[in-house]
Amino acid sequence: MATKPSLLFYIYLNFNKIFSMKIFLLLISIFFISFSSISQTKSPKDFLEYELGDRFTRHHKVVEYFQHIANTNTNVKLIKYGETYEKRPLYIAVITSQNNFNKLEDIRIGHLKSAGGTEGNAALDMPIVWLSYNVHGNEASSTEAAMQMLFELANPANSQTKIWLENTVIIIDPCINPDGRDRYVNWYNQNQNSPYNINPDSKEHHEPWPGGRTNHYLFDLNRDWAWATQIETQNRLVEYNRWLPNVHVDFHEQGINAPYYFAPAAEPYHEVVSDFQREFQVTIGKNNAKYFDKNGWLYFTKEYFDLLYPSYGDTYPTFNGAIGMTYEQGGSGRAGLGVKTSDEDILTLKDRITHHFTTGLSTIEISSLNSERLKKEFASYFNKAKNTPIGTYKSYLIRHSNNKDKLKSLKKLLDRHQIKYGISNATNSLKGYSYQDNEIKTVKLSKNDLVINSNQPKSSLVKALFEPQAKLSDSITYDITAWSLPYSRGLDAYALTTKVPIKLDVNEMSEEKIIGVKKPYAYLSKWNSTDDVAFLSYLLKQKIKVRFSKAPFSIDGKDFKAGALIITRRGNEKLGEKFDQIVTEASQKFKREIAAVSSGLVTQGKDFGSRTVSYLKPPKVAILSGTGVSSLGFGEIWHFFEQQIQYPVTVIDTDYFSRVKLNKYDVLVLPNGFYSKILGKEKLSVVKEWVQNGGKLIAIDRALGVFANSKDFKLSKFKDDDEKKEKEKEEKERKERSELEAYDKLERKSVSNLITGSVFNTSMDNTHPLGFGYKKKYKTLRLNSNHYAYLKDGVNVCVIKNKSDLVSGFTGVNALKNVEKSLVFGVEKKGSGEVVYLADNPLFRSFWENGKLVFCNAIFLVGQ
């Protein structure tokens, strides 16, 4: 008789049925979940509730959309790689096929293995295409295009993109520069007509100073990849090096009347650009052209945008093994939602988005079609870099005797780029090019010298950053032509034609110590680097009274050069016990080696009570900013004070400058800019009076112009009237000759008058406070052909004497003549005050590290 089976028995009997039912249910639910998530993937239009191109999307909303796509798709990942100065998040989205996505980490490691890494399986490698949008904030169409791009890659209805994702990984950075972009977008949204007005006169096409191109500190992030002075770059480089893409596109915009620009790039190409990199730019360009031809859109290639300066979003990736490219749409801050162009056409935001979207998609397509080739060439690029690197120099030697702060800062930069280095394991003598003396010399290696060998995965970047002179295939270039790190950082260094054996660099123990007596008469600190300045800045903010010596001295067996800080107990008595505590803390915080001495009686030089030891009055500093001032020039100074030496400054806008009472400030800084309007006759005489009463005026780069034209100041473009006449005559003749020149030769001709950023040897007077902390020789970066004669009534602290002082970079023949006997840095005494002329901008892009102390000397020491 049949009995009711127990539950267990029932399961036993029906095991197969239940099991398959479970699988069925699981499949159903997976299907349901994925179906429902796919159905939840909204287009930008559905998500934003307006069509792309109808308005500009603010950054937080772009982030929300990217999060939405990542949340509704199992093959999309968002990675937050940092935050901007204004605390906006920085993200990339990674997208590939589901199958690839499931082993994404293995693909990434396998890819890095192809790039010379040690771990992972290179067989899993797959080309990575990285699309970077909106590095220039007011070139605002590209972030909009980024949303469309991510949607179309994720959109289940788009079967085409799915095929490409089978053999490529796509990385999208929707906005490299959110602070700048929101600055533009917020302004535009507040000022546009509704509906938008295409009349170029309309306010919506006239972005106010400083515009949205740059980041918070008004730095051009597309000049910062190699120097990594900005937080956005620093964060991005970490993520970039985790992926090292095969193809990198940097999306830009240019003037409203320009047709679209894409690869291949213009000459000059840097020597390290490989044959395949050149070739594949053409392949990509042809594919882009196919779509542009089909739509009848205008475009150009091979003009204007070259591949030389290593700090761009196209060159930097190129020097890291990618096909690095710039794409330029007509538009930028002038274009708004729609604007009338010179050929009577209307350029709309929708057009701009469509073009950028098209080239992005076309780049992915052609990369996918050439997936195997890209993979092979990528591996071979890095293989060559490791085994047979290009160039004469096989290693770069940085002497251990260099200032420790400079060595530390260089290593930090090398780490950011994942450039390998070590310390010398040999003590033999070699011949090499001396960066200090600009000649071949014999150098005896020492065990602790820092060595960067060129046979390493980052070989091209090493060459581009270290070689004394980049080879120029064409003199018409978009940017500076000299930047070598040993020059910009003032390092005693050698380029060697042989490889130096190295061992692992052991980071030396930091010297956060005070050597000497307890409760000393005075603490002493050297003055050689911006870290020393940051230390001073901290002490001043803690209300510590500081003195400095204007002459070298020796005490307790230690030598101190002029500029050394002397922190006496005298003057700080009211702080009591806290005095020693604050100095000790500061020495630890800034890792300074401090000498604590029990007497003010020196063994050599002048005692601490001497007149050569001055009280360093904490200066109240104002900087001019606003219309007329170069936003980049101002930003460099602003960034320097806040991010590098943390010293308080007051920023005064040119709008109300005429109403500001200058006697509240000790120092007024005029950044690079055009001052003829800001400092009209009346205001100039106010400034002059303020200087005579003890103010210190610091003029940088083009700011010198207004003083050279004024009778009240001693600065002049010419030595005397005779030279003035002679030079004006020469100039006239040159103009007449060029009038007869064929029009198509004119551009070339004008190059002979140019300096686009070259390095010159100078003579530095390091006995003057402006030169304290320097050697007698200093290398300056000259950015234009402006010439100022030696000051007749002032101190010429730093000068270029001869045209043979050109060390590196392109300088046209006419411009070179003009360099002779020119002022670099000088001081004019006026009543109780000073004018400091810095003809070459030592803070340019914040990368000429060795110039920064000149600026600090001007702020803190000159005139004290």
CB 261 within 8 A of CB 145: no
Q: Among residues 137 and 619, whose Cβ is nearest to Zn ion?
A: 137
Q: Among residues 313 and 851, whose Cβ is nearest to Zn ion?
A: 313
Q: Minimum Å distance from CB 332 to Zn ion?
A: 7
Looking at the DSSP bridge assignments, the partners of residue 795 are 827
Q: Minimum Å distance from CB 303 to Zn ion?
A: 16
Q: Among residues 332 and 403, whose Cβ is nearest to Zn ion?
A: 332
Count other Cβ atoms within 10 Å, centred on residue 570: 12
Count other Cβ atoms within 10 Å, centred on residue 426: 16
Q: Minimum Å distance from CB 316 to Zn ion?
A: 15
What token pair was written down for 280?
């594949």
Q: Minimum Å distance from CB 126 to Zn ion?
A: 30
Q: Among residues 262 and 825, whose Cβ is nearest to Zn ion?
A: 262
Q: Among residues 230 and 758, whose Cβ is nearest to Zn ion?
A: 230
Q: Among residues 136 and 216, whose Cβ is nearest to Zn ion?
A: 136
CA triplet 562, 566, 570: central angle to 5 degrees?
145
Q: Minimum Å distance from CB 84 to Zn ion?
A: 18
What token pair was written down for 566?
């002397």
Q: Minimum Å distance from CB 454 to Zn ion?
A: 32
Q: Among residues 41 and 138, whose Cβ is nearest to Zn ion?
A: 138
Q: Minimum Å distance from CB 778 to Zn ion?
A: 33
Q: Minimum Å distance from CB 254 to Zn ion?
A: 7
Q: Which strands make up the sheet holding 422-424, listed edge to edge?
A: 439-444, 429-434, 493-496, 395-398, 450-453, 422-424, 502-503
Q: Omega of the bond prior to 210 within 30 degrees of 0, cis?
A: yes
Q: Among residues 223 and 406, whose Cβ is nearest to Zn ion?
A: 223
Residues 776, 764: Cα–Cα separation, whole Å: 5
Q: Is 530 left (phi over 0), alpha (psi -120 to 50) or beta?
A: alpha
Cα dihedral: 698, 704, 710, 711 (round 10): 70
Q: Among residues 265 and 759, whose Cβ is nearest to Zn ion?
A: 265
Q: Minimum Å distance from CB 307 to Zn ion?
A: 15
> Could you tell me the sign of the dihedral formed by the alpha carbons of 713, 719, 721, 725, in that order?
negative
The residues that touch Zn ion, with contacts defined as CB under 5 A, are 136, 139, 252
Q: Minimum Å distance from CB 120 to Zn ion?
A: 35
Q: Minimum Å distance from CB 226 to Zn ion?
A: 17
Q: Among residues 136 and 420, whose Cβ is nearest to Zn ion?
A: 136
Q: Among residues 223 and 252, whose Cβ is nearest to Zn ion?
A: 252
Q: Minimum Å distance from CB 323 to Zn ion?
A: 19
Q: Among residues 480 and 586, whose Cβ is nearest to Zn ion?
A: 480
Q: Among residues 56 and 760, whose Cβ is nearest to Zn ion?
A: 56
Residue 344, Cβ density class (10 Å: 0-12 exposed, 13-18 middle, ≥19 buried): exposed
Residues 197, 256: Cα–Cα separation, whole Å: 15
Q: What is the DSSP string of 367-421?
A: HHHTHHHHHHHHHHHHHHHHHS-SSS--EEEE-TTS-HHHHHHHHHHHHHTT---
Q: Among residues 252 and 489, whose Cβ is nearest to Zn ion?
A: 252
Helix (H/G/I), strand (E/B), else coil: 80? strand
Shortest CA distance to 337 belongs to which of 218, 184, 215, 209? 184
Looking at the DSSP bridge assignments, the partners of residue 339 are 347
CB 628 within 8 A of CB 655: no
CA triplet 292, 294, 299: central angle to 5 degrees?
20
What token pair was written down for 569?
């107990």
CB 397 within 8 A of CB 465: no
Q: How far is CA 693 from the centre of its chain?
A: 39
Q: Among residues 213 and 463, whose Cβ is nearest to Zn ion?
A: 213
Residues 727, 718: Cα–Cα separation, whole Å: 8
Using CA atoms, how far residue 546 sits from 307, 522, 564, in Å, is 48, 10, 10
Q: Minimum Å distance from CB 149 to Zn ion?
A: 18
Q: Among residues 139 and 144, whose Cβ is nearest to Zn ion?
A: 139
Q: What is the DSSP string of 484-539?
A: -HHHHTT--EEEESS---EEPPPPPPP--EEEE-SS-SEEEE---SHHHHHHHHHH
Q: Minimum Å distance from CB 251 to Zn ion?
A: 8
Name the residue whose CB lies closest to Zn ion. 252
CB 280 within 8 A of CB 370: yes
Q: Is 196 left (phi over 0), alpha (psi -120 to 50) or beta?
A: beta
Q: Minimum Å distance from CB 299 to Zn ion?
A: 17
Shortest CA distance to 654 belongs to which of 670, 642, 632? 670
Looking at the DSSP bridge assignments, the partners of residue 838 are 700, 825
Q: Minimum Å distance from CB 340 to Zn ion?
A: 22
